[in-house]
Amino acid sequence: MAFDPGPKIFCEPFQKTKIRNTIYSFDPPYCRIFFDCRCPRQPRQGSAVMSRFMRKEVKIDLCTVMEKEKPEMETKGMKVTIAPEVTSKTKSRDIMKFLSDSYGASHLGNLLLAYDGKKSAFAVGPLPFDSKEFVVKLAEQNGREREFKVTIKFAARKELNHLRQFLAGRQQDNPQETIQALDVVLRESASKDREIVGRSLFHTDFGRGPLGDGIEYWKGFYQSLRPTQMGLSLNIDMSARAFYEPKLLSEFVATKTVVQYFREKYSVQLRFPALPAIQAGTDAKPTYLPMEICWVTPGQRYSLKLNERQVTQFLRATCQRPKDREDSIDNTMKKNKYNKDPLVSKDFEMNVTELLTSIEARVLPPPPLRYHESGRTSEVNPSVGQWNMIDLKVINGGTVNYWAIINFSRHNDQAVGRFVHGLVSMCQTKGIVFNPQPLIPMRSAMPHNIEKALVDLQSQASAQLAQVAHGHPLQMLFVILPETKGTYPRIKRVCETELGIVSQCCKPQHVMKMSSQYLENVALKINVKVGGRNTVLAATLNSRLPYVTDRPTIIFVFFAFTYLLWWVVASMDWPQVTKYKALVSAQPHRQEIIQDLYTTRTDPKRGVIHGGLIRELLISFKKATGHKPHRLTFYRDGVSEGQFSEVLLNEMDKIRKACISLEENYMPPVTFIVVQKRHHTRFFPVRHGDRGSTDRSGNILPGTVVDTKICHPFEFDFYLCSHAGIQELVGPLTTMFSMMRTSSLLMACRCSQTAYATLPPAYYAHLAAFRARSYMEGDQSDTSSRGQRATRDRVAEVRPLPVIHDNVKSVMFYC
């Protein structure tokens, strides 16, 4: 089977648009790494049918950063060691600032140091020594001095000429360490008196507000230096985090002995003498302090999970309209004053432009959607990322002959029966074949008895099926959830891993409302869960979807959930590519390479036994469609940029081995695309309020594609805004796609047909991943507690991953 020639480009007619983004410039930029090991080159602009689209100008949050080309200029990297070890970046920066102020002229040759807060520092030229130890005495908050020994040792030379060659496309290797050094320089300039969390900097000057329970939010900004086609660019975006409020700890207690000591020593009468104290100092030499005289130090990031009320307050306080967010970014740039910092302008001779970058973008036309001919219309053309489902029927309705109801809420059977009858009627209206009568009478049960109630219902349903439809399973279970939270994960785990039942849970507040919009939305979920299709792209029915309909094609999505759970979903129908089977794999924490894509084990009698997720999904595709895939397309989520090369090399190797294990010389062409949703590039319309270039919330139009200027200097990546925004969201509207390897190129128009923030199979993978989390974390995944750490910090607490039952594995049970 021959590979497709590539790269090729196919585009439907586009609309031109201009936008601005939050990228500020700099002359040296950024990279993707690859299988042979090179990424596909960026297609030549204006080639093929690139002239047929609407263009718009947009603004983006990037600024150019210019660096004078002095051949003799070099950046020196130093390793910094502080003893005793300091874990706080803020304290480490204080130590290095004191060292620089005290020894700058006498020992550092008047060179300013850019320090990353950990173990690296950079200077624009060589220091007068290769290695030297300094003694720094820093005053603590208690007034005492503490001594630190700081060792600075030459580590490496960062060649700026290598960086310039890379930006010009004459050098393939990404000089990431040099870019990191210059990033540290700009971060050093912006970090003064600000709290640093990751790549973001926070201060109360940007805004603060209460979240409750001693927690508050601080506003700040994200900053990152990256290579683009414009040169080095500085990415600025607004950010917010939860911090502890600085306040007295008088809600805690002090012991009687401490009360006496403070009265006699300091003449302080404690107000809470019945409460115990906190222990400071060491175990060998403890110091006891009453909480009511202690303050929580400001600027400490709150790393626990916020409760629902705090999340609501946080989002309400930090979400901004597009114009307001753009103004915030502009103001941040002006406050930072990079060009007035001697480290930036004098030593490293860089200049940062303070204007958002304006770029020309393309707006893809929305793809027509096909519904059943018996509805109001059979074809719909979405407008600004939206379309109306009123009086439309699903194109392929599923069939539900055997179903049941279980009620865990306080609603009576009559109200629940009326609600479920309305839901079944809506399913029938939408074109789903639905038996109006349940298989068995409705059951009601208490929330504390969920497992037993579900098992009893399954037993009763199985007994009835044995009489009326032997060999057929229960096809749908309606579950009315209890009013108390935390039961949804248990219900799904029991149904999907133990009993093999596809279920649809409904919250009790919807039972009495009987909202037709809600019933319609649930009916669409039910249809895909029972094997139906709600809609398809019209192009798939007339064989006009490029690189999909011309030959049997399977689409995979890999999604990581905190590097502990990996979900792989793959299309099981062709050419419609609407049904996706999901498989899950558990593996060691923080392991970015999916281990179970292809596996082998040796059996004493059968020899080598091949297995793995890819192999199983390829076999399932063949059984479902009657074709072996002639083309494989992989969308890979959850990859950090530093891992691109490793992920591609390892996973492509597993993909090839899985194919060959099925058939000798089976080498279908592969397209491997990295999908990045969590980036900080923001796009804004040039003219806010212009309805011709914005959606209803004021964001750029859905379908906007950017693949020039701000993208990789020469490799193939692009940004896609795939849906309309409610308002300027906390996360980006755009998704970044990086073409790691392409034998059969999918152009941006392939990805434009979704109303989600990313392409549909990636969205399905997210849903499946959250379902697996609920299996492993149990009731904790549905509740929030102040003492509950985020998922990534509770790896040891999760349960073993249960196996999904065969009865539900083949359908989209996770929707």
Of the residues 265, 293, 321, which one is the last residue of a structural domain? 293
4 in any annotated domain: no
pLDDT of residue 356: 87
Are 552 and 527 part of one and the same domain? Answer: no
- Within this chain, do residues 679 and 563 fall inside the same structural domain, yes or no? yes
Q: Which residue do the tokens 């990086």 mark?
A: 738
Q: Which of 761, 763, 771, 775 is nearest to 569 (CA)?
A: 761
Contact in structure between 754 and 548 (CB atoms under 8 Å): no
Q: Which amino acid is at 567?
A: W
The answer on 454 and 503 residing in a single domain is: yes
How is residue 568 written in tokens? Answer: 């792989």
Residue ranges in the chain whose pLDDT is less than 50: 1-14, 26-37, 46-52, 251-255, 729-731, 744-757, 781-798
H-assigned helices in 626-719: 644-662
Closest CA to 568 of 639, 576, 560, 736: 560
Tell me the pairing of strands 443-444 and 403-407: parallel
- Please indicate, yes or no, whether residues 571 and 472 belong to a single structural domain of this protein: no
Does residue 573 sit in the same domain as residue 494? no
For residue 240, what are the β-bridge partners? 219
Burial class (CB in 10 A: 0-12, 13-18, 19+), 604: exposed
| C-beta separation of 446 from 474 below 8 A | no
Residue 524 belongs to domain spanning: 397-532
**Within a domain: 581:** yes
Q: Does 517 map to a domain?
A: yes
For residue 744, being part of any structural domain is answered with yes
Instruction: Tell me the C-alpha distance between 277 and 289, whole Å.
Output: 6
By residue count, the chain amounts to 815
- 464 plus 578 within the same structural domain: no
Taking only Cα atoms into account, the Rg of the chain, rounded to an integer number of angstroms, comes to 30
Same domain, yes or no: 549 and 523:
no
Helix (H) / strand (E) containing 244: strand 231-244
> Pairing state of beta strands 503-506 and 476-480?
parallel
Please state at what angle helix 413-429 crosses helix 516-529, rounded to 10 degrees: 70
Q: 520 with 621, same domain?
A: no
For residue 187, how many other CB atoms are within 10 A of its CB?
Answer: 20
Interacting residues of 757 by C-beta distance below 8 A, sequence separation 6+ = 677, 722, 723, 731, 732, 733, 735, 763
> Same domain, yes or no, for 575 and 710?
yes
| Helix or strand (DSSP H, E) at 339 | none
Which of 814, 708, 802 lies closest to 763 in space, CA to CA? 814
Among candidate residues 761, 780, 809, the one where a domain is terminated: 761
Same structural domain, 523 and 613: no
Is the domain of 478 the same as that of 563?
no
| Same domain (yes/no): 715, 665 | yes
Give the type of residue at 154.
F
Picking from 670, 618, 680, 621, the residue whose alpha carbon sits closest to that of residue 648 is 670
Rounded Cα distance, 736 and 249, in Å: 45
The CATH code of the domain that includes 581 is 3.30.420.10
* pLDDT number for residue 794: 46
Helix H, strand E, coil C: the string for 107-157 is CCCCCCCEECCCCEEEECCCCCCCEEEEEEEEECCCCCEEEEEEEEEEEEE
Q: Considering only CA atoms, which of 569, 447, 580 is closest in space to residue 505? A: 447
CA dihedral (648, 677, 707, 536) positive or negative: positive
Q: Give pLDDT, residue 590.
A: 65
Q: Which residues pair with 156 in a beta bridge?
A: 77
Helix (H) or strand (E) holding 633: strand 631-637
Count of beta carbons in the 10 Å neighbourhood of residue 302: 20
What is the per-residue pLDDT for 795? Answer: 43
Cβ pair 379, 370 in contact under 8 A: yes
Total domains in the fold of the chain:
3
What are the strands, taking DSSP E only, across 501-575? 503-506, 536-537, 553-561, 565-571
In-domain check, residue 496: yes
Which tokens sit at 134? 């300094």
Give the Cα separation of 779 and 296 in Å (integer).
31
For 675, list phi and psi in degrees, rounded to 5.
-105, 125
Among positive and negative, which fits the CA dihedral 501, 507, 510, 512?
positive
Phi-psi category of 459—alpha, beta or left, where left has phi over 0 and alpha has psi -120 to 50?
Answer: alpha
Answer whether residue 154 is part of any domain: no
- Max intra-chain CA distance, the chain: 94
- Alpha helix locations (H) across 469-505? 488-493
Going across the sheet that includes 369-370, the strands are 379-380, 369-370, 536-537
A 10 A CB-CB count for 47 gives 10
| CATH at residue 444 | 3.40.50.2300
Would you give the DSSP letter of residue 624? H
Tokens of 485: 């939270």
Q: Which of 532, 560, 595 is the last residue of a domain?
A: 532
Asked if residue 576 is part of any domain, the answer here is: yes
Nearest residue to 617 (alpha-carbon basis) of 608, 601, 607, 628: 628
Q: Under 8 Å CB-to-CB from 16, ≥6 apart: which residues?
A: 53, 54, 55, 56, 360, 361, 362, 363
Asked if residue 137 is part of any domain, the answer here is no
* Residue 198, both tokens: 């990751």
Q: How many whole angstroms separate alpha carbon 144 and alpha carbon 200?
A: 31
